[in-house]
């Protein structure tokens, strides 16, 4: 009985090939759309997570934190506060913890650079060679700091700092006053967007107003102490390191490494003048955004399936009207209402099932077709393709394949029930009279 019903349903659909094909086309498009959109969304999400990892998801950032001032210190004529990370902390961290891939220390504070009558209120950064890679700084002219610059008076200017000090000339090999000493400009960085404190910088800030000197030079020539006059008294701070950015070998070891660092620093610091930050939360947030993005894409594609399902219902209602006399004959020969309902539901499921299967097959070709389309666009319209788009690779999610196929079959059942119910409720005598 079951196979007989399927055979009859197939024959009925073949009598109206074009109509059946157009009805199944909506389901085909909806199913393919679900798989394609999720695959591209997964590719975009994976690229975003890779970027976040590069920016610092596998980093542990240890920062100097200014402790709360006491009243006694505020009333002192000369107030010098000593706090924060020590160079000894850096040595202990890299010596004890085996999961560390790299460790980059730095010191930064506000400083005024001068050239003749021009000046720039910048942030002077004493850093190590890997600092550029850590913060994704690109060189516009000259070079970056190197190991041969140890304790030398050389400086790399950020884009806006260079423009303020040298608006009309090439800054390379020019002299800049850093405090009371002349430094030679060896490089200039490209303009860079502000950071959200996920790389090697201490705060979310504008990189374009920086000036970079070797950390060893800052230690020997400028020192750790910065003094300023406030009213009738002098206030100063003595800080050896502003931040240590620690790259961990795997994301799984980030939390454990952070806990070890926290315990180690607590042993050697009498006050809580440091903070251990784990930016792995960025990766977690990216995964949440991916899930929300995929949900949005599924909803959009689900609308396509809904439209296709409505088309199926329309076709089946038309079929019921056309086959009224056939239904009457079947009822007169003893067919029950359940048999009529089953027949029309089977026909609807056949329509959606075939459309869904073809849609799944087309969806599995998402990656090669996407690459082919991207290649064509890159060849003829290269301005439309960005570097990030070249890095995106669609990833088929099996759950999207199962979901789209299931929805396709389910839509056949849902949208086929009402036309089948209408057919089953026909009065056999009235149906036989229908012309």
pLDDT per position as a tens digit, 334-393: 777 787 777 778 878 888 888 888 988 998 888 888 888 888 888 888 777 766 677 788
pLDDT of residue 173: 95
pLDDT above 70: percentage of residues in the chain = 81
Neighbours of 304 (CB within 10 A): 19
Asked if 137 and 207 count as a contact pair (C-beta separation under 8 A), the reply is: yes
Asked if 156 and 145 count as a contact pair (C-beta separation under 8 A), the reply is: yes
Asked if 420 and 316 count as a contact pair (C-beta separation under 8 A), the reply is: yes
Q: Pinpoint the alpha helices (H) of 336-397.
A: 337-364, 366-380, 387-391
Q: Which residues of 379-410 are buried (b: 16+ CB within 10 A; e: fewer)?
A: eeeeeeeeeeeeebebbbbeebbebbbebbbe
CA distance linking residue 326 with residue 304, whole number of Å: 33
Residue 94, judged by CB atoms within 10 A of its CB (0-12, 13-18, 19+), counts as middle
Confidence bin at 201 (pLDDT 50/70/90): very low
pLDDT of residue 190: 93
Residues 170-178 have a mean pLDDT of 94
Higher per-residue confidence, 14 vs 309: 309
CA distance linking residue 272 with residue 280, whole number of Å: 23
Confidence bin at 251 (pLDDT 50/70/90): confident
**pLDDT of 2 strictly over 60:** no
pLDDT of residue 164: 94
Neighbours of 414 (CB within 10 A): 17
**pLDDT of 200 strictly over 50:** no
* Nearest Cα to Cα of residue 134 among 209, 84, 199, 181: 199
**pLDDT of 432 strictly over 50:** yes
Tell me how many degrees the CA angle 291-294-300 measures, rounded to the nearest 5. 145
Helix axes 337-364, 281-322, angle to 10 degrees: 140
């Amino acid at each position: 009985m079951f196979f007989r019903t399927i055979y009859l349903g197939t024959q009925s659909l073949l009598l109206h090939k074009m109509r059946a094909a157009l009805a199944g086309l909506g389901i085909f498009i909806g199913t393919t759309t679900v798989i394609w959109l999720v695959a591209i969304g997964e590719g975009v999400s994976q690229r975003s997570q890779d970027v976040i990892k590069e920016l610092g998801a596998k980093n542990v950032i240890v920062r100097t934190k200014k402790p709360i001032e006491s009243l006694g210190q505020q009333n002192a004529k000369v107030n010098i506060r000593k706090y924060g990370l020590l160079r000894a902390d850096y040595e202990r961290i890299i010596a004890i913890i085996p999961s560390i891939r790299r460790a980059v220390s730095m010191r930064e504070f506000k400083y005024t650079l001068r050239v003749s009558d021009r000046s720039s209120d910048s942030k002077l950064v004493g850093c190590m060679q890997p600092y550029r890679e850590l913060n994704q700084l690109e060189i516009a002219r000259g070079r970056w700091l190197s190991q041969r610059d140890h304790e030398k008076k050389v400086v790399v200017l950020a884009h806006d700092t260079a423009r303020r000090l040298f608006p009309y000339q090439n800054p390379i090999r020019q002299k800049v006053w850093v405090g009371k000493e002349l430094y030679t400009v060896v490089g200039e960085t490209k303009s860079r967007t502000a950071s959200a404190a996920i790389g090697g910088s201490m705060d979310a800030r504008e990189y374009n107003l920086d000036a970079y000197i070797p950390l060893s030079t800052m230690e020997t020539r400028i020192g750790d102490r910065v003094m300023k006059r406030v009213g009738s008294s002098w206030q100063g701070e003595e800080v050896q390191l502003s931040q240590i950015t620690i790259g961990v070998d795997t994301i799984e070891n980030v939390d454990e490494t952070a806990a070890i660092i926290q315990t180690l620093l607590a042993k050697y610091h009498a006050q809580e003048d440091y903070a251990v930050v784990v930016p792995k939360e960025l990766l977690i947030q990216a995964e949440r955004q991916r899930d929300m993005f995929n949900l949005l894409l599924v909803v959009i594609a689900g609308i396509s399936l809904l439209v296709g399902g409505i088309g199926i219902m329309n076709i089946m209602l038309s079929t019921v009207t056309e086959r009224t006399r056939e239904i009457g004959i079947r009822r007169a020969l003893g067919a029950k209402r359940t048999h009529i309902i089953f027949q029309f539901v089977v026909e609807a499921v056949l329509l959606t099932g075939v459309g869904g299967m073809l849609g799944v097959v087309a969806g599995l070709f998402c990656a090669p077709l996407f690459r082919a389309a991207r290649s064509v666009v890159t060849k003829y319209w290269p301005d439309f393709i960005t570097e990030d788009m070249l890095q995106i690779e669609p990833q088929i999610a099996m759950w999207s394949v199962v979901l789209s196929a299931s929805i396709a079959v389910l839509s056949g059942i849902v949208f086929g029930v009402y036309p089948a119910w209408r057919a089953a409720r026909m009065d056999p005598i009235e149906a036989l009279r229908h012309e």
